[in-house]
Amino acid sequence: MTMDVRTAGGLAARLAVPEGDADDLDTRILDAALAEFETYGLRRVSVEDVAKRAGVARTTIYRRFTNKEQLLQAVILRECRRFLTAIAEATQDLASAEDAVVEGFVVGLRSARTHPLMTRVLESEPEAFLPQLSMNGGAVMLAARDILADRLRRARPGDGEDHNTVAEVLLRLAVSLLLVPGGGLELADEDAIRAFARDYLTRMLRP
């Protein structure tokens, strides 16, 4: 399982592949890698560490992932799928575009803030996280934007609203709040996030 995800297009294509397509050994290796990265950070973990945790030979991992970077990319890819699935599930049955904006924003920000790998890296290795964001962020942003924009269109069929732009602005704001916490916006809990989204973000939807 060799992965070339250094371009946005490559990652975007792989985001469309169901997670269930991974075999049991892939899952075992990725679970072990995720646990290692969450515990020790991105830089300190070696392929040998992952092999020990997974109970496999190091050569077994190298047959599926060329190096540690590709293994890390595979882990990030799987977590991105889960993130996008959470947004899709949270917004799929909502009747209004306003509700889709609010819940998509709440779930996205909450999921990112509470993800163990995200919090571990942002706390101890922010300089290691930023290259990963710049490498993959474009494709993930587009995939997440498309999910939320699709929910907005379904809530307002026939509306001429630029749903893609609205969805992308929401996501970029969420990323900013994640990477630069503090400031004047007090969004410490889910109720505050939801109220902020309801009061301010839904204004982007023209009546």
Task: Please say if the pLDDT value at position 207 is more than 80.
Answer: no
pLDDT digits (tens, 9 = 90+) for 126-163: 777 666 666 666 777 787 788 888 888 887 777 666 88
26 class by beta-carbon count within 10 Å (0-12 exposed, 13-18 middle, 19+ buried): middle
Residue 129: per-residue pLDDT:
65
109-122 pLDDT, tens digit per residue, is: 888 889 999 888 88
CB 172 within 8 A of CB 127: no
Tens of pLDDT along 71-109? 988 898 888 888 888 888 888 888 888 898 898 889 888
Q: What one-letter code names the amino acid at 132?
A: Q
Q: pTM of the prediction?
A: 0.76
Side chain identity, residue 76: I
> Looking at the predicted structure, is the pLDDT value of residue 4 above 50?
no
Say how far apart CA 67 and CA 69 lie, in whole Å: 5
Tokens representing residue 127 in the block:
């300089």
**What are the distances in angstroms from CA 7 to CA 12, 13, 128, 171, 174?**
9, 10, 18, 20, 23
Distance, CA of 83 to CA of 102 (rounded, Å): 16
